[in-house]
Amino acid sequence: MASLQSNDFELFDVPVQFGQDSAALDARWKELQREAHPDKFAAQGAAAQRLAMQWSVRINEAYQRLKNPLKRAMYLCELHGAPIEAESNTAMPPEFLVQQMHWREALEDAEGIAHLEAIADQAITSKREQLSKIEHSLDREKNFPAAAQQVRSLMFIERFGSEIDARIDSLGQ
C-alpha cells in the first residue's frame, strides 16, 4: 500500500529493477497526479492543500528518479546497500580514464558545430553501452557494487555530454 514513506518503485507500483517501460511510468505519473495534485483541492481548506502538495511533490520526485536512467540506477544501488558516493570514491579503471582524456582533448580542439556534434554522437553511443552494462549488473547478476562502479563511470560520461551541450549552446545554435 502506498504511503509518503514508500520507495519510488512501490509508489509507482512497478517492479524493483532497472528495466522499466517509460510509457508506463508516464501514464502512472499522470494517474497519480490526477489523485494528488493540489489543484484538485483548490476549493478546499489549507490543510488539504498542504497534504496534496506533499503528495504531489513526492510523486514528482519519484517520477524524476524513475524516468532518468542514471538516477534510477543510483537509487537502486542505494536501496541495495551499494551507495554511489561519487565524491569519496573516484577510482576509475585506467582504460576508462585514457578514453576520457582523449575525448577531452578532442573537445578542446573541436571547431564548429559539425565537429562538436560528432563528439556528442560518440558520447551518446558510449552512454548507451554503459547503460546496458548497468542493466546487466542490476537486473541479471544482481551485483550492486559492480553496478555502482559502472554508474560512477556513467556520471563522467554524462558530465562530458553536458559540457559538449554547453559548447554547442555557446555557438548560439
Partner 1 sequence: MALLQLSEPGQTPDPHQRRIAVGIDLGTTHSLVASVRNGVAECLPDAQGRVLLPSVVRYALDPAGAVTREIGFDALSVQLDDPKNTIASVKRLMGRGMQDIVSRAQLPYELVDKPGMVAVRTVAGEKSPVEVSAEILATLRYRAEDTFNDDIFGAVITVPAYFDDAQRQATKDAAHLAGIKVLRLINEPTAAAIAYGLDNASQGVYAIYDLGGGTFDISILRLSQGVFEVVATGGDSALGGDDYDRALVDWVLVKTGLAADTLTAGDKAALLQAARASKEALSAMDSVAFSARLVRANIQFDMKAADFEAATASLTQRTLTAVRKALRDAQLGKDDVQGVVLVGGSTRMPQVRRAVAGFFGREPLTNLNPDEVVALGAAVSANQLAGNHSGNDLLLLDVIPLSLGIETMGGLVERIVPRNQTIPTAMAQDFTTYQDGQTALALHVVQGERDLVADCRSLARFELRGIPPMVAGAARIRVTFTVDADGLLSVSAKEQGSGVEARIDVKPSYGLSDDDIARMLQESFSTAQQDMQARALAEAQVDADRMLLATQSALAADGDLLVADEKLEIDRLMAELSSTRQQGDAAQIEAAVKALADATENFAAQRMNRGIRQALAGKNIATV
Distances (CA, A) of 7 to 11, 16, 58, 79, 110: 6, 10, 10, 9, 44
Work out how close the CB of 131 gets to partner 1 at its nearest, in angstroms, rounded to a whole number: 16
Q: How many CB atoms lie within 10 A of CB 40?
A: 15
φ/ψ region of 113 (left if φ > 0, alpha if ψ in -120 to 50, else beta) reads: alpha
Nearer to partner 1 by Cβ, of 1 and 114: the residue is 1
Query: Distance of alpha carbon 82 from its chain centroid, rounded?
Result: 16
Nearer to partner 1 by Cβ, of 5 and 132: the residue is 5
Residue 115's Cβ-count burial label (10 Å; 0-12, 13-18, 19+) is: middle
Query: Taking CB under 8 A as the rule, does residue 34 contact partner 1?
Result: yes
Contact string (CB under 8 A) for partner 1, positions 38-77, x = contact: xxx-xxxxxxx--xxx-xxx--xx-xx-------------
Nearer to partner 1 by Cβ, of 57 and 86: the residue is 57
Cα 149 from Cα 93, distance rounded (Å): 9
> Which range binds partner 1 by CB under 8 A, 27-35, 73-81, 109-117, 135-143?
27-35
Q: Is 40 helix (H, G, I), strand (E, B) or coil?
A: helix
Nearer to partner 1 by Cβ, of 20 and 99: the residue is 20
Query: Taking CB under 8 A as the rule, does residue 105 contact partner 1?
Result: no
Nearer to partner 1 by Cβ, of 29 and 156: the residue is 29
Query: Taking CB under 8 A as the rule, does residue 30 contact partner 1?
Result: yes
Helices (H) and strands (E) in the chain, counts: 7, 0
Question: Rule CB under 8 A: which residues touch partner 1?
Answer: 1-3, 13, 28, 30-40, 42-48, 51-53, 55-57, 60-61, 63-64, 172-173
